[in-house]
Structure 1
Amino acid sequence: MSAERDGGAVFVRPLGILGHETAAAAVEAGIARWLAGGPLAFAMVEVIVRWPDGGIGRASGTLADVAGWEQVVERLDALSRPRQPFAGLALDKPAIMGIINVTPDSFSDGGDFLDHANAIAQGAALLDAGADILDVGGESTRPGADPVSPEEEIRRVVPVVRHFAGTGAKVSIDTRHAAVMAAALEAGAAIINDVTALTGDPESLGVAVRSAAPVVLMHMKGEPRTMQQAPDYLDVSTDVYAYLAERVAVCLDAGIRPENLCVDPGIGFGKTVAHNLDVLRHTALFHGLGLPVLIGLSRKGFIGALSRKEPPKDRLAGSLAGALASLGQGAQIVRVHDVAETYQARALWLALEGQSAT
């Protein structure tokens, strides 16, 4: 989904992002375009060209500066058009995905919600706090984590999924195993959230196609046990973009409808602190895929690494800062542990953009 020019792959990153009244005035004046149909607009772009020999060129300018570049204009259309609802959720304002880890070893809350009653109580609290989606997972994908059998994963997640689906809540199943996807969907899950972008199990793509369930495709370099062992990229943000573009193309070719796809650049999954920061700075780039963008950085290790090495549950402030930075680049979904605090931060952000939280 990157464009090609003279043998080079072309990527377009929105810059000069404007909000509220400034955005509307700039769009009306013809000097800016809406960003993914949301409340923000962009008046400039950075054009990134990756040449076959490994070289990378970058240049920035106004929309008028690139008006005659056909490949860039094609990307502008994808960057600008409104996003269709995802899993029944309108994306006119950012959605909050609340995390329920039914695991003994997740990096932040491992063991807290392994008991089904505790997991259900936590999910109810997250919904009360304003979560739009509950993301239920039964296998830790923290760096160095050991895999869990699909049978054990199903035992952990299905009762929780079934409970909340029965209440009408929108539930996503966070898994890389096809059998778990199928069991959770049968129990009422509405979304597949796969850290391997449907590559971790040869049956996953088929489950997604047959179920017609919305899917979050995430980028991960390697697998959880090894992903943080010296991860390396030529250019991390365009590497991640190219990978996600390829996975989107595979899914579309298999028959998954575009409105059933969402992309996640995978903060913390096979990436150093510098890589994570680069991807976050380039959040708006991923709108070029023409799909909703999900950002999940809640409590992750790079936040503590940038501060005072705080443990996961003491990384709320950094998590909120990262979430708001991604909202400021048009991210449509944020995946978080701390829903109440994120809801409040989002409410203020929405008010500044002239929107209501309700």
Structure 2
Amino acid sequence: MDKARTAGFGPELTKSQNVPSYTFRTIPHPGFRTLLRNFAKQQRFASTLVIAEHNNDTLGSITLNAISAAAKIGGDITCLVAGTQCAKVAESVSKVKGVGKVLVAENESFSGFLPESLTPLIVNLQNQFKFSHVLAGATAIGKNLLPRVAAKLDISPVSDIIGIKSEDTFVRTIYAGNAIQTVQVTESVKVVTVRGTSFDPASTDGSGAAIENVPDATVENSVSKFQGQQLSKSDRPELSSASIVISGGRGMKSGDNFKLLYDLADKMNAAVGASRAAVDAGFVPNDLQVGQTGKIVAPDLYMAVGISGAIQHLAGMKDSKIIVAINKDPDAPIFQVADYGLVMDLFKAVPEMTNLIKSS
């Protein structure tokens, strides 16, 4: 017999018998031990807190992506709606499929999603409910808030994940999207930001989750104060959520030439973006930048016009369903990722496309 399996056997001679009797000690099979550990993990990793982004009136679409990621982790999903007069948002969140509970915290200090105000609230909720995961979208808000939460909890956050392998193992990109990294987290709480373009939005046809008010949502923030915000208005779709995006690069040569893209975008109901080179050159404002240090987009159609294809730009649009590149340089790296490529002077190609759409 295997020594590992006989280690628990020991002879025990009795005075009343001439033959030895044996005392048996049960030793669980290693596979059974693993099964027990995994079961214990599942029991422990059973609840996720998702931070909802909103404007006190409508729910941000990134929250639906974060809830979808939470559903992949498994277990109960609780969503935190913090703000002022945000009952309408809480009602919307309660109808998202997979959400089991909505926590509402209303306080003037939560205006503007200042991390100095929200962090104490989230830490208090974590201490109370012992969530296994805390998730938010990998937006300016999420990237500003969750690292602070993680620091207060004395753990390391995981940023900008694009996939989930298990409740403690996540996938993200590194080196401007040139490599994929798999990260296993051993912390008791997993604090994670989610790349919205990598997860489908959760359905909004849920049965209706319970809505509860946070009993003590009073926090003190003496280091920062929200003064207000001014959002740019445009008749075009919002860049991050548009189904069609037309981006220009340094090849546009000037900001005035971006009018070519605006005219085409208006005909196609598309959003307009830009590469970092175009932004750094002052052609367009930085809120149009697509890339690793700009906005991450994944439209049904992405048109790269006069963009060479630096890896930092590719990291922000490589998940697009169809990529079309227009560049007069046949060796431009953008053609390596494009589904369709047109080697042509953009100042001839774009007006022709606009005219063709007009005539149709």
**TM-score bucket of the superposed structures, by smaller chain:** under 0.3
Higher strand share: 2
Mark the structure with the bigger radius of gyration: 2
Higher helix share: 1
